[in-house]
Amino acid sequence: MNLQLSGRRVLITGGGKGAGAAVVALFREEGAQVLTTARNRPTALPEELFVAADLTTVDGCATVAEAVKARMGGVDIIVHVVGGSSAPAGGFAALGEEEWQQELNLNLFPAVRLDRALLPGMLAQGEGVIVHVTSIQRELPLPESTTAYAAAKAALSTYSKSLSKEVSPQGVRVVRVSPGWIETEAAVALAERLAEQAGTDYEGGKQIIMGALGGIPLGRPSTPAEVANLIAFVASPLAGSITGTEFVIDGGTVPVV
């Protein structure tokens, strides 16, 4: 399948590791002109494809938006991958002002700020695609440790839907991709840690994580490459009539229709 992404100018946030790194690799393979961002540049990534920024800050988002304009003269596709959670376990009582703000700063505001800076250019050119990476946690929150993260992803999802209604008539598609558990470097490390604590092997560690999610019918997490494949498809002209909707990639984890 030719995804027709060659020559497209693409900004990918959170492209240093995990799913974001897989998205960067795939768009580069497809011949897109990629600019990616994180706080630390992976050594294997050429400097000209990377801009260092802390996207939890207003200044960090401005730095990235300026780099997009200066280096690519605008953007055709934005893939908002950056996100995650550093909140402690312990339910609502463990979530103070700082923890709530941090989850919103990482999972909602980078998309809001970068879209606000870069959408006018897309609207002027009459086309563009924005992909927001959400999470199944937004519909399947785990109260022990993901309440703030899940709520921030829910806010991102609602923001994305509203934006799609506003800008799709002007040629800009806005789509969400909602992963379940992805077997990233961080997930591997977590499974290994849990395995060691429980005196089992890596597969045993994975089973502990899948158990916490209520099971994964497919029996395994998604790979970063599988998530990247879905993102590349929805961002491509092949998905030209898709906007305002959310694609779940979770091996069947969400237990309802």
Distances (CA, A) of 195 to 50, 76, 94, 190, 251: 35, 43, 25, 8, 22
Exactly one of 20, 128, 141, 205 binds ligand NAP (CB under 6 A); which one?
20
Among 6, 7, 39, 245, binds ligand NAP (CB under 6 A): 39
Rule CB under 6 A: say whether 102 interacts with ligand NAP. Answer: no
Residue 8 or 132 with smaller CB distance to ligand NAP: 132
Nearer to ligand NAP, 17 or 71 (CB): 17
- CB count within 10 Å of CB 235 equals 29
Told to check if 210 binds ligand NAP by CB under 6 A, we report no
Q: Is 181 in the site for ligand NAP (CB under 6 A)?
A: yes
The type of residue at 36 is: T
What count of other Cβ atoms lies within 10 Å of the Cβ of residue 90? 10
Cβ at position 13, least distance to ligand NAP in Å: 7
How far, in Å, CA of 145 to CA of 220, rounded? Answer: 21
Q: Is the dihedral of CA 186, 178, 115, 172 positive or negative?
A: positive
User: For the packed helices 109-125 and 147-167, what is the interaxial angle rounded to 10 degrees?
Assistant: 10
163 binds ligand NAP (CB under 6 A): no
Taking CB under 6 A as the binding criterion, the range among 13-21, 111-119, 158-166, 231-239 that sits at the site for ligand NAP is 13-21
Q: How far is CA 132 from CA 176, 181, 213, in A?
A: 5, 17, 22
Q: Is 135 in the site for ligand NAP (CB under 6 A)?
A: yes
Interface residue with ligand NAP among 82, 163, 172, 174 (CB under 6 A) is 82
Binding site for ligand NAP (CB under 6 A): 14-20, 38-40, 53-56, 81-84, 106, 133, 135, 179, 181-182, 184, 186-187
